[in-house]
């Protein structure tokens, strides 16, 4: 099955919801006009890391979600990206995937909070992975720092994901990690990995752009520039997954009897010496 998607690499203005939403809507319109079935926006794309204002931004983001639903239905396009969300008095960095015709969007709350950006001071962590469908293709949802935790990606692969979507605000100074880890997650799980980053300076950090679409073979299918906004269009074909897995049958050769499910080892007691 083929899927045409857009990687909407934005220069996020810290705390400026009106500006950021306007740019996001422009990117969504551009992607729809080019026949895309999905557009992916960066992490916290409406606000950036303006976490001290989470209560205010969470309320504004509700109106944004309503607008995204309208755009998804008008253009018949799926829209994804993370933003600050409020639930029962707590705040989350949540990846919403809005799909046309569906009232309730898929919602993944970031499991691994990033201490260097002080997320844990303002936000709660999520506690479950989320597998959604985009044009019939099973898609795992992840956010930025999650990229450093291969257990999550392996779980998605075992659950049947054919693609993982990852919005991010990844610093330019760790751009090499960004590129290598996206490629590694794709190679080791033999599925597509799509990472959409931000550009520009915000909160004392410069973000590295270089949004990437990586194939199950680890090839770079599309790459955005490191320092400017871009709406990058790429087509993927999920039939490539079976081709790659037949060449190197990693999932047939797994020894789950030895190492169990992802993360299982962390729940075992160490043997006595």
Cα dihedral across residues 260, 265, 267, 273: positive or negative: positive
pTM above threshold 0.75: yes
pLDDT given at position 261? 75
pLDDT given at position 204? 86
pLDDT given at position 272? 38
| CB within 8 Å of 108: residues ≥ 6 apart | 94, 95, 97, 126, 129, 130, 141, 142, 143
Candidates 21, 43, 85, 179; catalytic one: 43
Candidates 110, 169, 179, 229; catalytic one: 110
pLDDT < 70: residue spans in the chain: 263-273
pLDDT given at position 116? 87
Residue ranges per structural domain of the chain? 2-248
Q: Is residue 2 flagged as an active site residue? A: no
Q: Is residue 64 flagged as an active site residue? A: no
**Residues in a beta bridge with 241:** none
Structure tokens, 173: 């100074």
Q: Is residue 110 flagged as an active site residue? A: yes
Evaluate whether 224 touches 210 at the Cβ level (below 8 Å): yes
pLDDT given at position 234? 98
pLDDT given at position 263? 57
Evaluate whether 163 touches 135 at the Cβ level (below 8 Å): no
pLDDT given at position 13? 97
pLDDT given at position 260? 81
pLDDT given at position 269? 42
| CATH code of domain 2-248 | 3.60.110.10
**Residues in a beta bridge with 202:** 205
For residue 156, count other CB atoms closer than 10 A to its CB: 25
pLDDT given at position 179? 98
pLDDT given at position 203? 80
Q: Give the whole-angstrom CA distance, residue 245 versus residue 231.
A: 31
Measured CA distances, 273 to 4, 112, 173, 270 (Å) = 55, 33, 43, 9
């Amino acid at each position: 099955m083929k899927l045409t998607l857009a990687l909407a690499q934005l220069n996020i203005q810290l705390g400026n919801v009106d500006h950021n939403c306007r740019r996001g809507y422009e990117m969504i319109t551009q992607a729809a006009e080019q026949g895309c079935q999905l557009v992916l926006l960066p992490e916290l794309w409406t606000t950036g890391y303006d976490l001290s204002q989470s209560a205010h931004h969470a309320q504004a983001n509700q109106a944004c979600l309503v607008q995204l639903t309208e755009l998804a239905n008008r253009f018949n396009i799926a829209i994804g990206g993370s933003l600050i969300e409020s639930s029962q008095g707590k705040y989350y960095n949540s990846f919403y995937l809005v799909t046309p015709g569906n009232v309730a969007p898929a919602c993944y709350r970031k499991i691994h909070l990033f201490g260097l950006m002080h997320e844990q001071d303002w936000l709660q962590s999520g506690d479950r992975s989320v597998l959604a469908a985009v044009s019939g293709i099973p898609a795992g949802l992840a956010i930025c720092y999650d990229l450093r935790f291969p257990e999550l990606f392996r779980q998605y692969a075992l659950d049947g994901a054919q693609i993982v979507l990852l919005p991010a605000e990844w610093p330019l100074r760790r751009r090499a990690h960004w590129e290598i880890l996206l490629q590694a997650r794709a190679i080791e799980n033999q599925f597509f990995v799509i990472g959409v980053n931000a550009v520009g300076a915000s909160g004392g950090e410069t973000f590295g752009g270089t949004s990437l679409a990586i194939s199950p073979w680890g090839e770079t299918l599309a790459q955005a520039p490191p320092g400017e906004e871009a709406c990058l269009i790429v087509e993927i074909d999920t039939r490539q997954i079976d081709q790659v897995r037949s060449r190197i049958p990693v999932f047939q050769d797994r020894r789950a009897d030895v190492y169990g499910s992802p993360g299982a080892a962390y729940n075992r007691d160490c043997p006595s010496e």
